[in-house]
Amino acid sequence: MSQNTPPSSPALGPPAAERGRAVGPETLRLRLDLAYDGGGFSGWAAQPGLRTVEGELTAALEAVTRVPVRLTVAGRTDAGVHAAAQVAHLDLPVAVWQRLPGRSGREPGEALLSRLAGVLAHRCQQSGPPGTPRGSCDVVVHGVAVVGEGFDARFSALERRYTYRVCDRPSQRDPAQRHRVLWVPGELDVAAMAASARPLLGEHDFLSYCKPRAGASTIRTLRHLEWRRASEGPEAGLVTLTVVADAFCHSMVRALVGAGLAVGQGRQGPDWPGELLAARTRQGAAPVAPPHGLTLEAVSYPPDEELAAQAARARVLRTNCC
């Protein structure tokens, strides 16, 4: 895939329902496709005493299935970050799957979707953001599919795509979108921002753009990084960053945004993001942009027969690059 063109892949989106095979003779693996408004969550990962996407979804699944559930997710989003197309998987006993429809006559997947919607909406009314409209919810499961044992929502993924949205013109600020778009004072130099992004493409050690975790690599392959001002459509006038990589380190996308904004606002020159990358240091690391402007837009996967091999490759710790 060219680093200068955005990706297009038929692998984006869920596989056909019921196409997979059982993980074992008594267990099925299920893929969930979901979306959420991150504003009311303390991130994806379950944390004691905090409302998280994983916590809410796990509680809803366990209420419906009446068995313990463990979720694996494609992207562990930070607090306040949204998702339009998140992917997760779980393993469920075949007997539990088969009894989900009850006497309704529906397919198990359809029954699970319907019952999850009701439980999630009820939980949102009880503990979600104040003022949530009755019957609505800030996390929605759009699809359920039985997949093969080679599918892993995290490690089988080929790439993730995020978009960060910025409004730099007061006349175009939309109050209804203020929780999904960063407002900044003064017009940004988008041309300088676009130029500053080019040296970051490819495989690099992104230590200067990450909050490293013990035992984890900060080497990533950045496949697409584009700052542009939308010229048409519902986002006309907004400045957007589209970023695609095989995977991202903790806070990496928001650090890439922060570096671009520093250039666009004239606080740093166009060469600074590349120089910061080359420094490979946490000293003077890239500033991290606020979370609410960021949305996970898509996760792509290889064909079914390549899922297990991709997962095996992704599990290998990268220790050198370039």
Domain ranges, ordered by start, for the chain: 27-147, 159-314
Average pLDDT over residues 116-129: 94
Task: Please state the rounded mean pLDDT for residues 178-184.
Answer: 97
Tally Cβ neighbours within 10 Å of residue 301. Answer: 26
pLDDT surpasses 80 at 2: no
Q: How far is CA 229 from the centre of its chain?
A: 22
Confidence of residue 14 (pLDDT cuts 50, 70, 90): very low
Segment 3-28 shows an average pLDDT of: 50
Q: Inform me whether the pLDDT recorded for 20 exceeds 80.
A: no
User: Which residues are tagged catalytic?
Assistant: 78
The closest alpha carbon to 218, from 300, 294, 277, belongs to 277
Distance CA(243)–CA(238), nearest Å, equals 16
Instruction: Specify the DSSP element, H or E, that contains 228.
Output: strand 219-229
CATH 3.30.230.10 assigned to domain 159-314? The reply is: no
Q: Evaluate whether 27-147 and 159-314 have a shared fold.
A: yes
Identify the CATH number of the domain defined by range 27-147. 3.30.70.580
pLDDT of residue 45: 96
Q: Is the pLDDT of residue 12 over 80?
A: no
- Percentage of the chain beyond pLDDT 70 is 92
Q: Which of 19-23, 125-129, 233-237, 292-296 has the lowest mean pLDDT?
A: 19-23
d(CA 137, CA 227): 32
Q: Which of 49, 128, 37 is nearest to 81 (CA)?
A: 37
Look at 160 and 285; give whichever has higher pLDDT.
160
The winner for highest mean pLDDT among 11-15, 30-34, 100-104 is 30-34
162 is in an annotated binding site: yes
